[in-house]
Amino acid sequence: EDKVVQSPLSLVVHEGDTVTLNCSYEVTNFRSLLWYKQEKKAPTFLFMLTSSGIEKKSGRLSSILDKKELFSILNITATQTGDSAIYLCAVDSGNTGKLIFGQGTTLQVKP
């Protein structure tokens, strides 16, 4: 059975801290791994990763994929209160948008 597992499930940090969120997966036909950020409403897209070792970066957020060890990490540096959200990891196992999601990591950034 295809599975995506995120850790930790929740995290509380203070502004300025750096955090690393983890996502491991077991799927039969990997195509890509995606990260989403979910605040009050709909998840919003952050990154799509398809190749090992190539870092994707957007401002203070970055992510990398290891297809040999079957995991990805999402780093957030110099965290701000606006980074407080649920971060969702998902794997596309058929390039058809049928994503398998992990449980999510709830990040709370305190002032």
Q: Where are the beta strands (DSSP E) in the chain?
A: 3-7, 10-14, 19-26, 32-38, 44-49, 56-58, 61-66, 71-76, 85-92, 99-101, 105-110
Sort strands 3-7 and 19-26 into parallel, antiparallel or unpaired.
antiparallel
Least distance to other proteins from the beta carbon of 104, Å? 5
> Binding to other proteins (CB under 8 A): which residues in 59-88?
88
- Between 98 and 110, CB nearer to other proteins: 98
- Shortest distance, position 14 Cβ to other proteins, whole Å: 25
Query: Residue 70 half-sphere exposure, CB side, CA atoms within 13 Å?
Result: 13
Question: Residue 107 and residue 84: Cα distance in Å, rounded?
Answer: 5
Nearer to other proteins, 9 or 78 (CB): 9
CB closer to other proteins, 1 vs 69: 1
Q: Does 43 bind other proteins (CB under 8 A)?
A: yes
Question: What residues line the site for other proteins (CB under 8 A)?
Answer: 4, 6, 9, 31-32, 34, 41-45, 48, 88, 90, 92, 95-104
